Amino acid sequence: MPAADGKSSVTGASIFGLPEYRPHAAQFHSRLNRLIKHRRYADGTIYADSAFKLAHKLYAQTTALFNILSRAVDLDIALVPGVMQPWELDKKTPAAIVEAQALLYEWSGWDVGADDWLEDGTETGEALLKIVPDVERGVVKILRLKPEHGYLCKHAQEGEVVDLLLVVDRAMSDEQGVTFEYAEAITPLEIRTYRNGEPHSYGGNPNRYPNPLGFVPAVPVKNDSECRPTFGKVMAQIDRVNEMASYLGDIIGRHAEPVWAAFGASKVEEAEKGGSVWYMPKEAKLQAILAEIDVPGTLSFVESVKSEAKSALPELSFDDLRAKDQIATETLEIQLIELDVKIWRMRRRYDAALVDAHRMAAAAAVAVGVDGLAPLLAPHSFDYKRPVRPVSEFDAIRLEEARLALKMQQAMSSSESMSVAAPSLRNSEVEVDANEVDIEESNA
């Protein structure tokens, strides 16, 4: 029960301790662990975890000997929205829809230049958008909901299965600096809020009240069909690189000061000054005892796995291109086509999710009586032809000239075809007329 001062008396308790939500606990925490692990791969902190080092046999002093994942994430975040015109609607989109989209983004404080929502997807494999109406201010917002805090699932309630959005943040702090678990459970029928697993009111609302929208206001998106981060395919390879490099570093570290063996002498004295001069009989031999390890071969293996991992990330194709002094435009396009294909596939998913968020925000606005977003209920889409990579002004002019030349060539080809067809058509008409004359004469 809540204490007299309004704070929860069950410190550390959770919404998943309640019988109603306990069936979702295992799946929620399994997913949470996976998302956190992917985050830590992206920033390299995974290699500082002692349990991870032990599991992957990493050298105790290893941080991230090979970690380029954050660069791949950053490039995807820049390219998916569109470098030239981020999240640009199709050219034929009615003005009313364009204006409604601009209004929604203004209300939401939506920064199309740096999308945290998109970063969630590329780093963890999943992303969530939440629609939040503010009736007092007369606005509806699209907000990023960190996938670690949001969980969409099916929920059994009063004999039927309904959609459920669980929002759980175990690191929420109140005005006194007390950390607690904030939890919110949203179904199409109602919204319930909790603190440390107990019903709790926030923002003047009761802890349980009807959902004014009639639907769960969240839009999920998968980074790929298997909910993998943008670097999901190379995680095992990167672990292997770090493991082999750790072995090599460990061995070299342990033999930095080798053990010496003297042969043919009963006593060998080392000079005190610097330890670099040895006094020994003429016939004696001094030899360092070293581990028999193929250092060049191991380094070669590490480099080969490293190269294989990098080649699996098309975002890093720019590294090879920068290493070349001169490269033809056609060669450049061929080498970057894999990156273009990956971005187009990702873009379709994020475009579709953002359009769904537009429509859901418009539906929410209608439900709570907020004006200005109704045009977003009409079918619309983003410009799927927007370029993946930046196009210079010079290249843009060349492309436009090439398009015009192609149109002129097609027009000329079409006119030549018509001019060739016309004489043959006239000849056939003459032949028909001659035949008609012959028939008339024979009848006479």
SS3 367: helix
Burial 383-418 (b: 16+ CB within 10 A, else e): beebbbeeeeeeeeeeeeeeeeeeeeeeeeeeeeee
State the pLDDT at residue 417.
62
**Tokens 């699996």 appear where?**
312
CB 89 within 8 A of CB 382: yes
SS3 260: strand
CB 261 within 8 A of CB 286: yes
- Gap between the Cα atoms of 216 and 95, Å rounded: 29
Helical H segments across 255-328, by residue range = 295-311, 317-322
State the pLDDT at residue 319.
66
- Gap between the Cα atoms of 77 and 82, Å rounded: 9
Q: Where are the domains of the chain?
A: 15-231+344-377, 258-290, 392-444
- Gap between the Cα atoms of 221 and 360, Å rounded: 14
How much is the pTM?
A: 0.74
- Gap between the Cα atoms of 168 and 336, Å rounded: 41
CB neighbour list of residue 197: distance below 8 Å, 6 or more residues apart: 8, 10, 13, 14, 15, 16, 17, 18, 181, 183
CB 262 within 8 A of CB 286: yes
- Gap between the Cα atoms of 58 and 441, Å rounded: 106
**CA distances in angstroms from 137 to 217, 220, 296, 370, 375, listed in the order given:** 19, 26, 67, 9, 20
CB neighbour list of residue 338: distance below 8 Å, 6 or more residues apart: 314, 317
- Gap between the Cα atoms of 132 and 203, Å rounded: 14
CB 316 within 8 A of CB 342: no
CA 123 to chain centre: 5
State the pLDDT at residue 11.
46
SS3 216: coil
CB 390 within 8 A of CB 84: yes
H or E segment to which residue 39 belongs: helix 25-43
Which DSSP letter does residue 125 get?
S
State the pLDDT at residue 439.
40
Q: Which two structure tokens, joined as six digits, stand for 343?
A: 């971005």
CB neighbour list of residue 384: distance below 8 Å, 6 or more residues apart: 90, 347, 348, 351
Q: Mean pLDDT of successive 10-residue segments in the chain (444 residues)? A: 41 86 96 94 82 73 66 89 84 95 90 76 95 93 94 90 96 91 96 96 93 96 92 84 70 62 64 54 68 67 74 75 53 71 92 96 96 96 85 62 76 68 50 43 42
